[in-house]
Amino acid sequence: MRLTADSAAALEAVGVCKFYGTMQVLKDVSLTVRRGEAIAIIGPSGSGKSTFLRCINRLEEINGGMLMVNGHLVGFRREGNKLYELSERAIAAQRRDTGMVFQSFNLFPHMTALENISLAPRVNKIDTKDAIASYAKELLGKVGLSEKADAYPAQLSGGQQQRVAIARALAMKPKVMLFDEPTSALDPEMVAEVLSVMQDLASSGMTMIVVTHEMEFARRVCDRVIFMDQGRIAAVGTPETIFDKPTNPRVIDFLSRVKAADAMPA
């Protein structure tokens, strides 16, 4: 299989397959994401959404197909017609181009917000200590937490911790941001503050791929919506196409179930 880099693409996936033992969780997934696009991936639990995201960041190895981020093969280098797997060190360096925000915040409890954000740039020596600290403070301001620089995770709300996690992912100046259901662990009143930061990122032109159950966010903020079902991409379209004019029976059924769940009394 030959994958040719598209100069306008932030991500190219061609025929991506993933197995856990004999269970196939990704089945021939192909997708191109342009630079500056915000993409939402929706679908039922177990459809392969999070696994696909983790494959992009090489947290999971694919068993077939190819992935390319910013024109570089994920996890491999090509020499002629042959592919060679990268070393763990080279994969870690490659991973710097893709910031990732998880469901859980995973902040170091013994470090302040500022220290959590500064850690990766400092370890990787991407700039001087003072420049890293200055940029970390800038990022805290960007997520609305300038006054929390010296606060420890235990002193922050869930929404504040997730905003620090977003700033931490941005600290390495990634080309693509991956979000794996970033609001699923939050109380409802904290969801809006995190989504607001993500909306600002999308407006700034950051390339974003967001696995989410927040349908209104996908509708308002994202350029395209991907619907995954049983390990495959079952539908791709604009938010209007997916939410207002769906034709795929699985999409129609899924959205009706989401609507019914949202209508249930708390």
pLDDT of res. 88:
85
The count of other CB atoms within 10 Å of the CB of residue 61 is 12
pLDDT of res. 76:
85
pLDDT of res. 2:
40
CB 228 within 8 A of CB 45: no
pLDDT of res. 172:
93
Residues belonging to the chain: 266
Grouping H, G, I as helix, E, B as strand and the rest as coil, residue 16 is strand
pLDDT, average across residues 26-35: 97
The count of other CB atoms within 10 Å of the CB of residue 85 is 11
pLDDT, average across residues 165-185: 95
pLDDT, average across residues 7-22: 93
pLDDT, average across residues 56-68: 93
User: Which runs of consecutive H residues, i.e. helices, occur in 143-183?
Assistant: 158-170
Burial class (CB in 10 A: 0-12, 13-18, 19+), 243: middle
Grouping H, G, I as helix, E, B as strand and the rest as coil, residue 260 is helix
pLDDT of res. 7:
61
pLDDT band at 79 (very low <50, low <70, confident <90, very high): confident
Average pLDDT, the chain: 92
CB 175 within 8 A of CB 69: yes
CB 36 within 8 A of CB 205: yes
Amino acid at 13: A
Q: pLDDT, tens digit, for every residue of 194-218?
A: 999 999 999 999 999 999 999 999 9
Q: Which residue has the higher pLDDT, 258 or 2?
A: 258
Rounded CA-CA distance 261/252 in Å is 14
What is the value of pTM for the model shown? 0.92
pLDDT band at 266 (very low <50, low <70, confident <90, very high): low
Full 3-state SS string of 56-91: HCCCCCCCEEEEEECCEECCEEEECCEEEECCHHHH
C-alpha radius of gyration, the chain, whole number: 19
CB 32 within 8 A of CB 11: yes
Residue 25 token pair: 């969780």
pLDDT at 258 over 60: yes
pLDDT of res. 259:
86
